Amino acid sequence: MKKSLAEFIGTFWLVFGGCGSALLAAGYPVLGIGFVGVALAFGLTVLTIAYSLGHISGAHLNPAVTLGLFAGGRISAKDIAPYIVAQILGGLAAAGLLYVIVTGNGSAIGNFAANGYGEHSPGGYNLVSAFVTEFILTFMFLIIILGATDDAAPKGFAGIAIGLALTLIHLVSIPVTNTSVNPARSISQAVFVGGWALSQLWLFIVAPIAGAMLAGIAYKFLKSE
């Protein structure tokens, strides 16, 4: 229960801080934090939770990370469902509060920082570009997580490496998909947008999970004798 609650709080912070920066500060009204600011915000959410709650649950904050760590032999099967449920609920709670805030001045929610491809990609990138981007970047994210948290890695620096990795991932992929690499983050926003966001949601579940699980298998092979 404590681990699941930590995952709920951590994923809440990731969605509230990351998507909140995109919705409230990225272009307000002329001076804004832009893509770089949003990328940094997502990285900071992971970095701060890694050091505050990582010792309780591992600070996965992401169903793809949980499944990738399982594939890499880092967690047991019994932890998967409670973690993923907590992550999705945390993301939805954050999105719900962001909805209240965003609409508080009479504004429509627009795309609500939802992930998309084709006409819903910030740069107009197609389905193939979106899938490859999400797959590769989640693969590398898990390689970094597995390596940084390995017993052989320098102690105390994993949160920095992982937070900076997520920042870099967003710097690369915001123009392509608005950056997912996290099904819980994608689900939370798509539920409030509905329509096109829900119809495209499958990609932001399948691609990150596939990339993460392949990374888990690959890292396990690299570490094998």
For residue 217, the model assigns a pLDDT of 96
Domain extent for 180: 2-223
SS3 content of the chain, % helix, strand, coil (to 5): 75, 0, 25
For residue 107, the model assigns a pLDDT of 83
Q: Give 23-87 as a DSSP string.
A: HHTTTSSSS--HHHHHHHHHHHHHHHHHHHTHHHH----SHHHHHHHHHTTSS-GGGHHHHHHHH
Distance CA 87, CA 116 (A): 21
Per-residue pLDDT of the chain (225 residues; tens, 9 = 90+): 899 999 999 999 999 999 999 999 987 767 789 999 999 999 999 999 999 999 999 999 999 999 999 999 999 999 999 999 999 999 999 999 999 999 998 888 989 999 999 999 999 999 999 999 999 999 999 999 999 999 888 898 999 999 999 999 999 999 999 999 999 999 999 999 999 999 999 999 999 999 999 999 999 999 887
For residue 14, the model assigns a pLDDT of 97
For residue 8, the model assigns a pLDDT of 97
Q: What CATH number is associated with residue 138?
A: 1.20.1080.10
CB atoms within 10 A of CB 149: 19
Distance CA 13, CA 223 (A): 32
For residue 32, the model assigns a pLDDT of 84
The predicted model scores a pTM of 0.94
Tokens (6 digits) for 66: 């949980």
C-alpha atoms less than 13 angstroms from C-alpha of 12 in its C-beta half-sphere: 14
For residue 223, the model assigns a pLDDT of 86
The three-class DSSP label of residue 95 is helix
C-alpha atoms less than 13 angstroms from C-alpha of 3 in its C-beta half-sphere: 14
The amino acid present at 213, given as its one-letter code, is M
Closest CA to 186 of 81, 92, 103: 92
For residue 9, the model assigns a pLDDT of 97
Rounded to an integer, what is the distance from CA 46 to the centroid of its chain?
A: 9
Using alpha carbons only, give the angle 77, 151, 48 rounded to the nearest 5 degrees. 80
Give the count of domains, the chain.
1
